Amino acid sequence: MTNRPKVGVLVTALLEDDYNKTAHVRPMAQKVADHIAEIIGKFADTVCPPLVEEEHHAEAAARMFNAEDVDLIIAVEVAYTKGIVPARCFLNTTAPVVVWNTQQIEFLPENADFDLIMLNSGMAGVPEMTSLLLRTGRPFWVVTSMMDDPKGHQQLADYIRAAGVIKQLKKARIAVFGHAFEGMTDLMIDQLSLRQFVGPVCWPVEPEKVAVAMREISDAELHALMDKESGRYHIDIAPEQFEQSCRLALALEKVTRDGKFDAVASFDQVWLTDPRVGIIPSYGTGRLCELGIPCSTEADITTVTAMLILQGLAGQATFLENYVIDFKRESIILSHDGHGNPAMAANPADVTLKHSIYYEGVKGFGAGLEFAYAAGPVTNLSLVPVQGRWRLIVSEGESVAIKPRPVAAPQMLFKPKSLPIAEWCTRWVEAGAPHHQALAFGHLADKIKIYAKMQGLDLIEV
């Protein structure tokens, strides 16, 4: 989920026909088109056909965009263009469209000549372009700004990133080890609906593969990981349990990478009675998160999908659930037994690997993670199906510095951005949030809103 987005840059201008005789500005117009491509190139790999003036130019642009499988088309009119010209491109492509309504100058000076007007008159044709998009049923979004305005560039960057996440989710494969935790209604979903409206493929993987893979881990691999973790974490677990936990972690990684999976939804308890495994894999699933492979427990598919969304927007994500409301500090403790993303710890040197206090298998208690998450701005995200539609529930807040409790779990004290904690809790549960949630650093609600609009998902901000 870290690929750079790919954008098709469609720049149009009507310079010469039976009535318009301004072909002499073509080199200047192409220079403007090149500058537009340079701006967009700061945020994405670009596919840039020459300046589009006629239908056959637009047809060639469409072929380029399709051949390169662009995530997004950004359309710009440097000068008025007959709508039928970009229509040829739009009708022959399927990528999302952002219309950048832009010009180079802040205003038209009193001594302006018509050449200057020609190269800054995109607004003359943008209504015709957006009208044709509406009439043909093609979704689109608009950014209006001066060409060199950083605020406008940021808006473009947000659309580009959202389009990249949409494309990545369409290609994403989630490995499902075991089954959803029995009786948890918020984990009961239609996987085909998720594939159709959000993107990821859910692929069942036999837990047997992990047990077999454990035997294939070499002693050299095993001891290298044990030495690495001993050098950066506190190890508070019996040596044989530490060794088994590291072997299981390597096996989980091997099966996930061999299957070319982008994320994992794991029913961790499935291995407790298997004598080849016999422990909970909390350390291993947390390690996958650190490696950039989001992982949920209890085979929670929707929350690991939310983690994929956040990872695409912010680079790292973790898995949490509500623990205890802190009415004294207008906050709530978020955590999950043994599992979390140690890359997001307040201090990696303070991370402890200790035996689970929740789940005992035939080989004892496996290693879990215990640490406090780093302080700073954060965003919660949940994904839930509601009466046939998919809904994102998002909330911004702060991670407050805390001393972790000795409960063998990663922990965060989450303080909502604006609401008192009682009102936040009420609104969070009224929105339909499941009992798990994804979380990333940064205030990301505006970016998530753009993603939701482009993907066609409902959104509630708490």
- Contact, 210 vs 175, CB < 8 A? no
Average model confidence (pLDDT) across the chain:
95
Write the pLDDT tens digit of every residue in 146-179: 999 999 999 999 999 999 999 999 999 999 999 9
Three-state SS string over 396-441 comes to EEEEECCCCCCCCCEEEEEEECCCCHHHHHHHHHHCCCCCEEEEEE
Chain length of the chain: 462
Q: How far apart are CA 197 and CA 406, in angstroms?
A: 41
Q: Give the pLDDT confidence score for residue 112 in this predicted structure.
A: 83
- Report how far residue 222's alpha carbon sits from residue 215's, in angstroms, rounded to the nearest whole number: 11
For the beta carbon of residue 310, count every other beta carbon within 10 angstroms: 28
pLDDT in tens, 81-95: 999 999 999 999 999
Is the predicted pLDDT of residue 305 greater than 70, yes or no? yes
Q: Rg of the chain's alpha carbons, rounded to an integer?
A: 26
As a whole number, mean pLDDT of residues 232-254 equals 96
**pLDDT > 90: percent of the chain:** 91
pLDDT at position 1: 45
Of 323, 334, 320, 257, nearest in space to 291 by CA = 257
Distance CA 9, CA 7 (A): 6
- What is the predicted pLDDT for the residue at 186? 93
Residue 100: closest CA among 147, 53, 163: 147
Q: What is the pLDDT of residue 16?
A: 76
Average pLDDT over residues 375-402: 97
Task: Return all residues near 224 (Cβ < 8 A) that are at least 6 apart.
Answer: none
pLDDT over 80 at 219, yes or no? yes
Stretch among 183-197, 330-344, 355-369 having the lowest mean pLDDT: 355-369
Task: Give tens-digit pLDDT for 271-304.
Answer: 999 999 999 999 999 999 999 999 999 999 999 9
Domains of the chain: 6-170 (3.40.50.10940), 172-461 (3.40.275.10)
Q: Which of 219, 195, 215 is nearest to 255 (CA)?
A: 215
Report the pLDDT value the prediction gives residue 204, as an integer from 0 to 100. Answer: 97
- Express each pLDDT in 48-63 by its tens digit: 999 999 999 999 999 9
The pLDDT tens digits for 106-129 are: 998 888 888 888 888 899 999 999
Q: Is the pLDDT of residue 427 over 50?
A: yes
Burial class (CB in 10 A: 0-12, 13-18, 19+), 422: exposed
Work out the widest C-alpha separation in the chain, in whole angstroms: 86
Residue 101 identity: N
Q: What's the rounded mean pLDDT across residues 449-461?
A: 97
Cα–Cα distances (Å) from 401 to 343, 378, 411, 416, 437, in that order, read 16, 13, 10, 14, 20
* Whole-number Å distance between alpha carbons of 73 and 90: 9
Residue 318 banded pLDDT, cuts 50, 70, 90: very high
Q: pTM value?
A: 0.93
What tens digit of pLDDT does each residue of 23-56 get?
A: 888 899 999 999 999 999 999 999 999 999 999 9
β-sheet bridge partners, residue 100:
143
Q: What is the dihedral of CA 211, 216, 219, 223, to 10 degrees?
A: -50
CA distances from 362 to 278, 280, 298 (A): 5, 10, 19
For residue 265, the cross-strand partners are 176, 296
3-state SS, residue 16: strand
Percent of the chain topping pLDDT 70: 100
319 vs 349, residue with greater confidence: 319
Residue 455 and residue 460: Cα distance in Å, rounded? 15
- The answer to whether residue 14 scores a pLDDT higher than 90 is no
- Position 96 scores a pLDDT of 96
439/335 Cα distance (integer angstroms) = 11
